[in-house]
Structure 1
Amino acid sequence: MLRDKMRWTAYSDLLEDEYRQCLQEGLQVEPLLEEIRRIQTLSDGSLREEEARSLLARLEVAPVRSDFPYEEPEDYESIQSTLRPTAHKIWPVDADHFTDRIAGAWYGRTVGCVLGIPVEGWPRSKITGYLKASGQYPITEYLHSTQDPALRAQFDIHEEDPTTPYDRTRVCWRECLDAYPNDDDLNYTVLALKLLERYGHNFTSADVAETWLLGIPAFHACTAERVAIRNLMTGILPPQTGRRRNPYREWIGAQIRADFFGYIAPGNPAAAAAMAYRDGVVSHTKNGVYGEMFIAAWLSLCYVEGLTMLQRVQNALEQIPPRSRLSEAISEVCASYVSGVSFQSVVDGIHARYDETLQFDWCLTIPNAMLVTACVLWHDDYDAAVTAAVLSGFDTDCNGATVGSLFGLSHGRHSIPSRWHKAFPPVIHTSVHGYHALTFSDAIERTRNLILLES
């Protein structure tokens, strides 16, 4: 059981994902593929791990192809040098509606997360097939398991989940829950609250790392975050923690940590993105960090009345390098929206480009950010947006949470039907030390107390 939970740590387990990540970044690593395959044939042991560690170091410094068409800086000053002057615009906001919008964000994120957890990791064909077969399509409530033996066998339905990293032992079907469950999509939002309350708005990446080490169990961190914790415990400091032996550096982990920075920077997307950057580089690089900056900036702009959602997306994109892969991908989604392409066609196109049955693609920032953008642009009510996020596949709980957060902050708590948030007691349960049970009212008030207003 312990070995099953010790994922994302052995060097030899990282080689295949590192190779794919390098290809994403335009690095010339093809000559090293045979060496990867040779190491993978070695028996488990110290020799295999040492050779894998050495090869990972070589992969990390491979040269970039001369024909790579993107410009993707990593340090903050270089990122800023690619942006337009308008990126630093501060937008007027109405403080009278802050409390309702913050409430909408917290409830929207929590509900969207819980809705997507039971089918996390399922391909969209299985999600839709099971929901139709079990009479839960279209989605109108939290998802249930079934006791029908044929359906349980066909869709591998079970209630026990001994491999989960969040110290819960049951799948989060509705009948298995009596409260909002612990999950990383909520842990990191609360962890950011703790970070700001302890270190203030000028926190550093080292403060973020310290908050992690003091605040959450290592097993409650996944992929890039777990690698970063491993790096920290060997004396490596940010931003190297996000770069060193970390093939998950452009996965979705940083993007799901963005929300709180947008919540506390109303109308100030540059400030939201700056905080997201300092948080993101602890575990991610390039488009992994850009995803967090983009979502934080978008949330900041959700406070601004008079902007359409499309305009919020377009202005949020001004916070990330315009010649990055993420900027190109989100711009494509926006162009499809403007030209009248259907939502389903956009989702099908994302699935054609990325294979959700491969964990590498399933967890990448870019396809998930594209789906989040499409779900919010094409849907004008909360239920439609968050259920679309779940039905579209890829990282269902992460995307459901982010879509719910964006929609809730834009429209306020009243936009979220009461059946969602009345299903459980109004308490967020987390792994965060000292914040294990946070009432929504407390979270809303403490978030408002941290709002950064600049003129």
Structure 2
Amino acid sequence: MYTGWSTPLGLVQEELNQREYEGHPVPDSIKEKVAAIDEKDAMNIVLIDPIFDELEALPKSADFNYVQPNDLEEIRRERPDGPRKLGDVNNDEILDRLHGAWTGRACGCALGKPVEGVGMRGAKGMDGRQTIRTYLENRGHWPLDFYFSGAEAEDEIKLPCELSQRENIAFMEPDDDIHYTLIALHVLEKHGADFTWKDVANAWNNCLPYNAICTAETQAILNYNLAVPRTSLMGRVKADWVTPDFTSTHRNPYREWIGAQIRADGWGYACAGHPELAADFAWRDAHWTHRANGIYGEMMFAAIMASAFLVHDPVELTKIGLSEIPKNCRLSEAVNAALEKAEQTDDFHTYMDWVQEHYGDLSPVHTVNNALVVVGAMLYGQMDFHKSICVSVEGAWDTDCNGATCGSIVGAASGAKGLNSTLVAPLNDTIRPKVFGFEEIKMSELAERTLQVQKGITAR
């Protein structure tokens, strides 16, 4: 037992919620035991660690009717019919669309970055959406149409991330939503289409500062490193017992949160026109850090992303994404319900009222509720680059993640030449991440490098 993203007490408190979400009712006796732990014992491993074992041993309820496998072949057996492969993207368009996708990801991430905190937790007694709207209205900027201002107003709400505010923005600053897309490119350049989950884990160790890794990813990389001696990576000893089951579940209550979903894009870029293959790559990336819907979120959006290079209808794209995940899982249920709801109202915020009513009890960084924000932004933004990204951030919760995912999709659909948006120019086509080997790079260069990877994959 160890800490990671939170204290042992923080981890076990989240595990209570996670076990029930997975269909394992937690008895009051365990809840009361956790509630009785004083904050001064938050790091008391001897006291807290046995509770995890109790939670792990809980039986699944007979009333839990979802079918949510973690193995790729089992996932495929449970998925509905789908196109699997759409075809190759026109050679005259692919580079421009890749540039559009990278640009869209950066624009959406930068737009949502300053309000990520208030989008999740709200401020001044308001929820996230209310806070974002109030902040913009008080500065004369509602509806959202450009990067957030850091200007002061009577609400006394101060936003962080000054480098992503309209007064200062000149490039995409470091953010995990960008980092993992770069990691995907790095892995594919180094290992090609036959990469494994351990290649991804080793890339994190080699390229990402530990402090740039969050929640489920923090727990998974700690689990991996605790189980894999450094000397084994040098070839001195053999240590191959570590499994994705262990890295994704051991003291990892965040295993169905958004962390895998935000890693989908790079695989989708590399598999443009090939949604099944994109979902396969996403599964390899996701299943060592996440379980069930945490995996499916990345698979669904990787398939959507791969398809957006050829398909531009938001409903069709969403259904292609759904065709790569189990038909009877929580994420499929929620997305299908969202598609039905969207047919009944023409207003995004009325739609979001419904999303909050039905999925607002989930963590603000959960896979399912944030997926519905992105799907809603695609639908109500009508795949327009500028409008869709702005709407996705207005939806609150994990604003930079949702803005980035939505931006990737509409950017690929539009292509860089079609990006008639004021969000593009301020970034100067430049990303300055905290990823070793990518300290400062142009998005146009990333598109060129991604194209070379994509050519190698589709030629197989």
| 1:201 partner SS | helix
Q: Which among 173, 186, 210 is matched to residue 194 of structure 1? A: 186
Instruction: Please tell me the residue identity of whatever aligns with 1:243.
Output: T
Q: Which residue of 1 aligns with 2:8?
A: 11
Q: Residues 44-193 of structure 1: matches in 2 within 5 Å?
A: 44=41, 48-84=44-80, 86=82, 88-91=84-87, 93-122=89-118, 123-148=128-153, 150-151=154-155, 153=156, 155=157, 157=158, 170=162, 172-193=164-185
1:308-347 superposed matches below 5 A: 308-340=313-345, 342-347=347-352
The equivalent of 1:223 in structure 2 is 215
Which of 209, 213, 219 is residue 205 of structure 2 equivalent to? Answer: 213
Report the counterpart of residue 31 of structure 2 in structure 1: 33
Distance 1:403 1:42 in 2: 39
2:107–2:424 contact (8 Å) kept in structure 1: yes
CA distance in structure 1 between the aligned counterparts of 2:166 and 2:381, rounded to whole angstroms: 25
- What SS class does the counterpart of residue 431 from structure 2 fall into? strand
Q: How far apart are residue 43 of structure 1 and its match?
A: 3.2
422-431 or 183-192, larger mean C-alpha shift: 422-431
2:123 matched residue in structure 1: none
Q: Which string of whole-angstrom CA distances, capped at 9 and with x for unpartnered residues, describes residues 216-264 of structure 1?
A: 0111001111111221221163412111111110110100000011111
1:171 to 1:443, Cα distance in 2 relative to 1, 3 A? closer
Give 1:285's match in structure 2, choosing from 275, 285, 291: 291
Distance, in Å, in 2 between the alignment partners of 1:432 and 1:214 is 9
Q: Which residue of 2 aligns with 1:21?
A: 18
SS in 2 for 1:88: coil
Q: What percentage of residue pairs aligned between the two structures are identical?
A: 33
Q: Is 1:374 the equivalent of 2:367? A: no
| Number of the residue aligned with 2:310 | 304
Q: Is the 1:145–1:173 contact (alpha carbons within 8 Å) kept by the matching residues of 2? A: yes
245, 252, 256: which one pairs with 2:251?
A: 245
Task: Determine helix, strand or coil for the equivalent of 2:422.
Answer: helix
Q: CA deviation at 1:196?
A: 0.7
Please tell me the residue identity of whatever aligns with 1:288: G
CA offset at residue 418 of structure 1?
Answer: 4.8
Asked if 2 retains the 8 angstrom alpha-carbon contact of 1:354 and 1:362, the reply is: no
Q: CA shift at 1:454, angstroms?
A: 5.7
Contact 1:104–1:408 under 8 Å retained in 2: yes
Change in Cα spacing, 1:314 to 1:23, as seen in structure 2 (3 Å) is: same
SS across alignment from 2:441: strand
Q: From the superposition, tell whether residues 348 and 429 of structure 1 become closer, same or farther in structure 2 (CA, over 3 Å).
A: same
Q: Is the 8 A contact 2:69 2:75 kept in 1?
A: yes
Opposite residue 211 of structure 2, the aligned amino acid is F
SS in 2 for 1:26: coil
C-alpha distance in 1 between matches for 2:373 and 2:403: 10
In structure 2, what is the equivalent of residue 166 of structure 1?
none
Change (3 A) 1:45 1:290: closer
Aligned-partner residue type, residue 247 of structure 1: P
**Structure 2 unaligned runs (5+)?**
119-127, 229-241
Report the number of matched residues. 431
Q: What is the Cα deviation at residue 63 of structure 1?
A: 1.6
Which of 384, 387, 390 is the aligned partner of 1:384?
387
Secondary structure in 2 matching 1:209 = helix
- Match status 1:427 vs 2:400: no
Unpaired runs of at least 5, structure 1: 1-5, 162-169
Contact 2:267 2:281 in 1 (8 A): yes
Q: What is the letter of the counterpart of residue 53 of structure 2?
A: A
Q: CA deviation at 1:333?
A: 1.5
